[in-house]
Amino acid sequence: MQFCECGTILVPDKQPDGKIQMKCYGCGYIITSSSNSKAFEIKQKIRHSDLEKTVIIEASDEVETMPSATAKCEKCGHNEAVYWQLQTRSSDEASTTFYRCKKCKFTWRDYG
Ligand SMILES: [Zn+2]
Ligand SMILES: [Zn+2]
The total domain count for the chain is: 2
The domain of 5 spans 1-43
Q: Give residue-wise pLDDT tens across range 40-77.
A: 444 444 344 444 444 444 445 455 678 899 999 999 99
The ligand whose atoms approach the alpha carbon of 3 most closely is 1
Residues 36 and 67 in one domain: no
The ligand whose atoms approach the alpha carbon of 28 most closely is 1
Å from CA of 89 to ligand 2 middle: 29
Q: Which of 7, 96, 13, 12 has its CA nearest to residue 55?
A: 96
So what's the pLDDT on residue 44? Answer: 41
Regarding pTM above 0.75, the answer is no
Q: Which of 25, 28, 30, 32 has its CA nearest to residue 9?
A: 25
Å from CA of 50 to ligand 1 middle: 43
Q: Looking at residue 28, which CATH number applies to its domain?
A: 2.20.25
Q: Which of 82, 58, 62 has its CA nearest to residue 71?
A: 82
The ligand whose atoms approach the alpha carbon of 27 most closely is 1
The ligand whose atoms approach the alpha carbon of 10 most closely is 1
